[in-house]
Structure 1
Amino acid sequence: MTRSARRTRRMLSLGGLAAAALLTLSACGSSDSGGDSSGESGSSSSAERKPSGTVTVFAAASLKESFTTLGKQFEKAHPGTKVTFNFGGSDSLAAGITGGAPADVFAAASPKTMKTVTDAGDAAGAPVTFVRNQLEIATLPGNPDKVASLKDLTEPGLKVVLCDKTVPCGAAAKKALDASELKLTPVSYEQDVKSALTKVELKEADAAVVYRTDVKAAGDKVEGVEFPESADAVNDYPIALLKDAPNAAAAKAFIALVRSDDGQKVLTGAGFRKP
């Protein structure tokens, strides 16, 4: 065999070995890459399944009792989480959110107040109605003034409290009064439904138009009087994840609890109606 032939044969042999080595390295790299990708995916999925950290919920005052219960359930189901609440008039809460207050979830007492947040682009996705609420008259225990209807609240000398017209309970009361063609001048307008109810509990007022759920939560501190006009002023309660939520993953899990069968059981037990 000539020197030229031997050289050619040697080069072909080396080339084959190099190609085999490249194939081996490529296979290893592909295998390692696949393993890393799988690990990251599993870790991300695991994080989504296990909420952690603090969830900040802005919620209408009428949700205080039921949401507090749901917050405790959430923390028990997800160790390492904490739910903090800011309860108040839906309009002031909405103003806080659009003004930059840090929050994860907003639960409003009316679509109108939720619209303030969605119009400002501060909601992540479309809000969902999770319960409904109806008005009721709260009177002093034993109903000493014999209030039996919405019209009775217009009697001279009766001290009546209403929510401010800018908050959902006040807007609903106005709607019921307008539908009945009744004129009522309250002794005060309150900024949220709990403040209106407190006036009666402290005997600073004889009656207040509040939500059925608030009358139930007050127990024997007040007496509730239903009135048919309330059927014309039922409020839908929407809930939404906020766009800049600091803890979006846990916020989604809390909203899921609110909308779940267990969540609905707590809410209907508090007097709310299903949507």
Structure 2
Amino acid sequence: MVHDVDTVYLALRARILSGALAPETLLDATELEHSFGVNEKKVRQVLSSLCGDGFLTRSKSNYSIAVLTHAEVEEWLQIFCALVELGAARLVLDGDPKGESLERIASKDASSLPAADERFYLWTLEVYSSLLGGQQAKLTEFANQLVPPMFFRLLGLAEFGTKEGASLRRLVDQVIEAARSGRNARDAADACRAHFEAVSRALHAQLDDRNAGSGLDLLGGAERTVERRITGHINYLRTPSAPKQLLPRLRPDQVAVVKGFLPD
């Protein structure tokens, strides 16, 4: 029996990401209470936090597994790509000092870690927040409010799918080189665009696996943590602090518009 609410959160999150809990599955608070050995109040704390992080949707008092479409994921990818492009360009314009900070983060050896290891995911967050200008930067705050944490989880798995983060590491090298050589900021922005185009297919494939219930087995991952945001903050379950997403979910009539961005 599990008694810690954080552990309940981690167990449910892993099952959602792996597809063990299929999209649209209704979660019964009473059943979860019996399964994990926690009271209903704590179960609802967990469900509320998962909802705030984008893993669940809520209708009145009912929670169900969020259904993500390719159009929604692509919209988040395009938004995040635009923010990272701006951040990388600013890093080049600001010069070498921030390039050193980015290089220090990128030098961490994450390539030997499995996708299920939390350290790989946290490494990707560190790299991206550094590209955005740091955890306190306005661009990082925008990313935190425009893109839900669940997207970053899927993106982290997609990064691992590109040869254990090789594409992201290559992007960092290109941005650092541009910063140190005084090259045009456009070079750094173009490198970001190329990176996200490369990771896009892996991202959409990961979504297909998750929706089909055949995602990666994340239950054996080490060093699991409650959702850490790109700003470095953690949504502590007893005091949910998920930011209100500035953009609402796509309506069915809006999906067709975004489909034009999808890869062939």
Q: TM-score normalised by the shorter chain: which range applies?
A: under 0.3
Tell me the TM-score normalised to structure 2 length.
0.25
Please identify which structure carries the higher strand content. 1
Determine which structure has greater relative contact order: mean sequence separation of CA pairs < 8 Å that are 6+ residues apart, divided by chain length. 2
TM-score normalised by length of structure 1: 0.24
Instruction: Name the structure with the higher helix share.
Output: 2
User: Which one has a bigger Cα radius of gyration?
Assistant: 1
